[in-house]
Amino acid sequence: MPRHDLDQLTNDQLQELIHSLLWQLRLTDAFWFIYTEKRFGLPSAEELNTEVWAKAGKLAARDIKERFKINETGLDAFLRAFGFFSWTMMVDYRIERSQDELILSVPSCPAQEGRKKHGLGEYKCKEMHFKEFTGFAQEIDPRIRVECLFAPPDPHPNDMYCKWRFYLSSK
């Protein structure tokens, strides 16, 4: 559909289109990983996934900043931009905000739960998300640092896959 045809859609149709595109993105990501794992093995799939999402996180933040005119910096700017990130609309991120930091936790991970549903084990996503979140955060503000509190392959509670801390560096 050419871009100008989007103007002809109703608000309800635009929302359905967004939901469809997000579902398609999730499918593409899942099957890309599964077929890469089948062909090259899990370690290679994890490594390639890390490279892809490091770049995708950074470029997504850059695009969001430009499209939504996010010119400020800091954790509030990160939160504002992160709200427009496609995965924020697909993953049930829980974000706790305090004056000095953000804690992002993931009680329900579609990728890990999908793997479990199909008899596959968890994959190591810690490095991939670290690079994805760092690329995204530092595109918003180079002072933002990311700390992984836990993520696969780390042990984690049954009701929580991962937890991340975002804070501003004093340097």
Model confidence at 90, in pLDDT bands (50, 70, 90)? Answer: very high
pLDDT greater than 80 at residue 4: no
**How far is the C-alpha of 142 from the C-alpha of 105, rounded, in Å?**
22
Report residue 130 CA to chain centroid gap. Answer: 10
pTM of the predicted model as reported, rounded to 2 decimal places: 0.92
The H or E element that residue 148 is part of is: strand 144-150
Residue 162 has pLDDT above 70, yes or no: yes
Q: What is the chain's mean pLDDT, rounded?
A: 95
Give the model's pLDDT for residue 170.
81
* CATH class, 9-168 region: alpha beta
Cis before residue 157, ω within 30 degrees of 0? Answer: no
Identify which has the larger pLDDT, 4 or 96. Answer: 96
d(CA 12, CA 108): 27
Which amino acid does the sequence have at 69?
Answer: K
Query: Per-residue pLDDT tens for 53-62?
Result: 999 999 999 9
- Overall size of the chain counted in residues: 171
Mean pLDDT of 134-161: 97
Domain edges within the chain? 9-168
Residue 31, pLDDT score: 92
Closest CA to 149 of 88, 106, 89: 106
% of the chain residues with pLDDT over 70: 97
